[in-house]
Amino acid sequence: MPEQSVPAIVVDGVSKTFALPHERVHTLKEKALHPLRRSSHETLRALRDVSFAVPKGEFFGIVGRNGSGKSTLLKCLAGIYATDAGRIYVNGRVSTFIELGVGFNPDLPARDNVRINATMLGLTPREARRRFDRIVDFAELHDFVDLKLKNYSSGMLVRLAFSVMIQVDAEILLIDEVLAVGDAAFQQKCFEEFVRIRRSGATVLLVTHDMGAVQRFCDRAMLLEHGRRVELGEPERVGMRYMQLNFDPDARAQEETEAQEADAGPFPAATASAGPESRPELRLGDGLAEILESWFEDEDGHRTTALVTGRPCTFRTRVRFKARLQDPVFGVNLHNSNDDHVWGANNLSDQKSGRFEAGEEIVFDIAFRNVLAPDRYFATPAVANAAGGLSWHDRRDRFATVMVTGTRPANGLVDLPFEIAVARVATGATTEHPEPARAEETAR
Amino acid sequence: MSMPAAELELLGPPIKGPSALGSDWRRFVRLTWALATTDFRLRFFGSALGYLWQLMRPLMLFGVLYAVFSQFLKFGGDVKYYAVALLTGIVLFSFMSEATVQSVRSLSNRENLVRKIEFPRLAVPMATVLTSLFNLALNLVPVFVFLLAAGARPRWSWLELPALVAMLALFVLGISTLLSVLYVRYRDVEPIWDVVLQMMFYASPIFYTASIVRDKAGEDVLRLMMCNPFAMILQQTRHAIIDPSHESAASAIGGAPWLLVPLFIILAVVAIAYWLFDRAAPRIAEDI
């Protein structure tokens, strides 16, 4: 086994239980008066036999609802909590960011706080001094280094704390929702910074509720529920399962049993790296509507499995209703062979679809001009209920596929119609209008 | 489920979780230093007269005790440099009381750190003691000023001071560590320790002297008193720093071999404290 393939983190069957005492014996007197009485307590099983491995250089997301054990897991990884069972292997220098600005003191100026915070996070005082300028640069707080932190705005505090944290060059970053603070622009900057850190070869573990962030930045993600690993794989899939848990109480009840059955090996990375074709169909929903069939048609209305870039086409799906539904939402998501989420379309914001009776069968069409770059695409059709949070009636993952071909190589995900104009700029004293040299290309 | 053995070997040992000292002693030292200096600075920058207030506290107590015992009760008239001897006792006792009282709640006060980052847990009480040690250094300045003003001349035995302070610091560190970890489980450690401190104040020759104890209560009481490490260290400090007319700890306890008793107590406190702390360290974050 070559050195590079040693994972950055291996978690092997980790369990963690907290004792939650009903009435806590807090004094020696009580202990002395009732030496034999065992204080009654509930045990909270925060983590149950969780296993996973994170390869070096991966951006790994840990998601779950409140109380699912994700933060506990991070604290175990960070060495803040001791585990009850199982082992954790960490291969590299770790930095933990459970909270920004740990040890910040409001009565001291930023200069001192940076030094203290950096020391806490593992820098030597000399390293901290040497990086001070870079830290302040990134935070854009040059004019305020001698201001006491209590006079900082919360935005400034976050910026300062984040800047310190990214200057601790760790090989493994453990991050817990620290980005929930700060304005949108700063959050964007933070994420860009994470991506940069990741590109430099570091491994990043991010605990979050924010599925958007997971899907944008993570290579893989893991979903925890009641301390169990219920899903591990590409972010899109994990995100979907997460949505399902959030909005569908039945699915939540099922998790208990499913989690026990779906026990994966210690290196689940291997199973997740298999191609999209090999995975079993993932179908979600309450079944009040049923997607029967999906296909693509070209501009002449012929069913096809191959489309040409630049031509109009239609995605059609046949649906049967099992119950009376008011204004269901119809939609589709397209993924390319690289699993990028390329495009999604639905009538969520456009129009009411009307009422459908049980037993009724319909076909919904989504017509579009095909600007997709040549590639294989997978379509995920869905029928959902929009009232009171989105919940699926039926969603069939990668239910239909189509090959898009083109006559020229496309750079990027889409091949949009474009025009290129080249104009000569007047030089010297010439005031005449220059003759534009024009090259034009229109959409095919 | 378990890992294939070959892969385990490449990974090295699993992480251990939180501990008292951590795996990197330099990090331990840096953290302790950072925590202690921050606390120290805060106390000074908090108010304009920071340094003065720090000096005032033992001096005020000294003023009151001196007035009561020396002027009204005509106490210590035959003791050489009684005022300085009294101040020395107060300064050393202030160090012990400040460090231990602050340590009791130190882990709870630093809850934010303990729960949010991985670091050697022992750094918390250690830093508290270190901060008090800085204060002790400041408070020793007026002791020497008074001593020289009273007419004493520097002597070679002054060099004993660092060793004596180190011994006292070790004892105080042991108590502080013990109290900090007990407080996590038992909250009434705090009032209990307040009472114990009061008792130690009166049971140590701070405003009286060893010779008075011998005269009034007898040899055995003095020897018993000297088994208290604090009393022993204070007595030796007076002997070495103030004037040789204050008898040495060895003589007060009835022979040098008997000094092993307070020394053993110091080591026992430190050992028990470390053992308890080390045992509790992995769970401190969740028990606080």
> Which of A90-99, A144-153, B42-51, B93-102 is predicted most confidently?
B93-102
pLDDT of residue A3: 46
How does residue B162 score in pLDDT terms, banded at 50, 70 and 90? very high
**Between chains, do B38 and A116 touch, taking CB under 8 Å as contact?**
yes
CA distance A57 to A203: 4
* DSSP code at position B151: T
**Between chains, do B112 and A103 touch, taking CB under 8 Å as contact?**
yes
CA distance A79 to B158: 46
Structure tokens at A78: 């960070």
| pLDDT lower than 50: segments of chain A | 1-4, 257-278, 434, 436-444
Mean pLDDT of B61-70: 85
pLDDT of residue A262: 41
Mean pLDDT of B78-107: 91
Mean pLDDT of B37-62: 79
Strand order of the β-sheet with A203-208 is A94-97, A172-176, A203-208, A59-64, A220-225, A228-233
In angstroms, the Cα distances linking A326 to A316, A346, B217 are 21, 16, 97
pLDDT of residue A441: 46
* Average pLDDT along chain B: 88
Nearest to A107 among B1, B46, B115 (CB): B46
pLDDT of residue B102: 94
Whether A378 contacts A351, CB under 8 Å: no
**Between chains, do A119 and B31 touch, taking CB under 8 Å as contact?**
yes
Nearest to A90 among B15, B41, B282 (CB): B15
Q: What is the pLDDT of residues B125-150, one digit of tens each?
A: 999 999 999 999 989 998 999 999 98
Spell out the residues 6+ positions from residue A353 whose beta carbon is closer than 8 angstroms to its own: A327, A328, A329, A330, A347
ipTM comes to 0.80
Which chain B residue is nearest to residue A107, measuring alpha carbons? B42
Strands (E), B199-264: none
Nearest to B18 among A80, A102, A122 (CB): A80
Instruction: For residue A281, give how far its alpha carbon lies from the nearest alpha carbon of chain B (Å).
Output: 27
Nearest to B3 among A12, A75, A105 (CB): A12
Determine which of A402-411, B77-86, B222-231 has the lowest per-residue pLDDT on average. A402-411
How many CB atoms lie under 10 A from the CB of residue A15?
16
Percent of the residues in chain B that have a pLDDT greater than 90, as a whole number:
50
Determine which of A137-146, B91-100, B174-183, B249-258 has the lowest per-residue pLDDT on average. A137-146
pLDDT of residue B65: 86
Instruction: For residue B37, give how far its alpha carbon lies from the nearest alpha carbon of chain A (Å).
Output: 10
pTM, to two decimals? 0.70
pLDDT of residue B161: 95
pLDDT of residue A253: 56
Q: Is the dihedral of CA B85, B89, B90, B92 positive or negative?
A: positive
pLDDT of residue B36: 92
Q: A78 touching B, CB under 8 A?
A: yes
Distance from the first to the final alpha carbon of chain A: 51
Q: What is the pLDDT of residues B173-226, one digit of tens each?
A: 999 999 999 999 888 899 999 999 999 999 999 988 888 888 888 889 999 999
pLDDT of residue A23: 58
pLDDT of residue A250: 58
